[in-house]
Structure 1
Amino acid sequence: MKLIIINYGAGNIKSIQFAFKRLGVEAILSNNIDEIRKADRVIFPGVGEASSAMKMLKKSGLDKIIPTLKQPVLGICLGMQLMCNSSEEGNTKGLGIFNVDVKRFSNAVKVPQMGWNVIYDLKSDLFKEIKDKEFMYLVHSFYVENCVESIATTDYEIEYASALKKDNFYGVQFHPEKSGVEGSKILENFLKLKV
């Protein structure tokens, strides 16, 4: 299996690579458009600030390519947020894959949400053998509103979408690569998904 992690300068790439290595899969870092198109699975990571990350995607032309991919694609953290219509972070226009917007948590709660929180209302084979209310590791100040594309929910001040799915595109707000055995199982499930 050819697994590509999109390397565009805004990802927590090493820990994702190690997580897949533990599953026996060598993940290749690449920003080569042909290589990304030919991959069996694609990971779209993201750490940092939305508008800067989007600029880096545009610079390499990846903003045009990612929405056209046909294989299973998994956006992680900021990667998932960039797949949405827009983000309040830096007033950023997203890739528009998921028809939902990214908002900032209010000052009524500690921001960023950092640490372990539960996911529930699980609705996809991405969560095969994962129990409702399982803990995942999160670090984020912005959240995706609950919507029809939501396949997992988390509660922090409000209920929000902690995972999304549309066609071959998946997104998770949490970091499966840092979420222990259950996070590892989600990555394993992603490798087995059928389009």
Structure 2
Amino acid sequence: MIEPTIGVLDYGSGNLHSACRALEAAGAQVRLGSKPSEFASAEALVVPGVGAFAACMAGLHAVGGVDLVRDWVGSGRKLLGICVGHQVLFAHGVERGEPADGIGIFPGTVERLAARRLPHMGWNTVEAPAQAGVFEGLQDRRFYFVHSYGVHASDDDGQACVPADARITWCEHEGDRFIAAVQWGSVTSTQFHPEKSGAAGAQLLRHWLAS
């Protein structure tokens, strides 16, 4: 079986080496790079990310990553966003009162979770949609989260956070329900870290590679 070539975008943020190792273990040939030209022959692209929303967006702009992601999604090629790499796919982020524009693949806003204990760090179950997709067989499994910000069902104006035909996986922390993952067309994104989520995360990556 031919291993798919997967690009991992290096823009100065992200758990790059763990993500690369997890993808290789799941059956991919990984190409780590920071220039759009380096991914010309890649079949899919992974956008990792850790840290602050605005800082990650600045890093993406610096390497041409914003246009890369928009063009990639527009072409229908597979993309996976992880943690802040998931968050930056939304239209806006508000962190410590400072708003910043995201890439805008999804219309929602990333905001501070309404929970007493933050960050939300550790293992948590998720609520996958009926058509589970990459969560097939994983509906009762736990995944590893590290974050204080996330996306809720709608923004302050009541606008939906994702397109109507997107499949949303939910998670709850201290009564605050937020998006744990989105599957929409060729785009998959997870607030949790599949590369840190043990066997469940490894199976999710294998499902994503095979999808």
User: Could you state the TM-score of these two structures normalised by the residue count of structure 2?
Assistant: 0.85
**Alpha carbons 2:22, 2:195 under 8 Å: kept:** yes
The answer for the alignment partner of 1:40 in structure 2 is 43
Match of 1:77 among 79, 83, 87: 83
Secondary structure of the structure 2 residue equivalent to 1:91: strand
The answer for the alignment partner of 1:190 in structure 2 is 208
Moved more, 169-178 or 116-125: 116-125
Q: Please list every run of 5 or more consecutive structure 1 residues that lacks an aligned counterpart in the other structure.
A: none
Question: Which digits, 9 at most, give the CA deviation of each residue in 1:26-84, with x for residues without a partner?
Answer: 31111121232431011110011111111111111111120121311000000000000
Match of 1:97 among 101, 105, 116: 105
The answer for the alignment partner of 2:53 in structure 1 is 50
Number of residue pairs matched? 191
The answer for the alignment partner of 2:168 in structure 1 is 151
**Alpha carbons 1:4, 1:29 under 8 Å: kept:** yes
**Alpha carbons 2:6, 2:43 under 8 Å: kept:** yes
Q: Please list every run of 5 or more consecutive structure 2 residues that lacks an aligned counterpart in the other structure.
A: 154-160
Task: Output aligned runs, 1:1-195, within 5 Å.
Answer: 1-69=4-72, 70-89=76-95, 90-106=98-114, 108-122=115-129, 123-130=131-138, 132-146=139-153, 147=161, 148=164, 149-156=166-173, 157-193=175-211
CA distance in 2, matches of 1:51, 1:7: 16
Secondary structure of the structure 1 residue equivalent to 2:14: coil
User: Could you state the TM-score of these two structures normalised by the residue count of structure 1?
Assistant: 0.92
CA distance in 2, matches of 1:83, 1:143: 12
State the percentage of identical aligned residues.
29
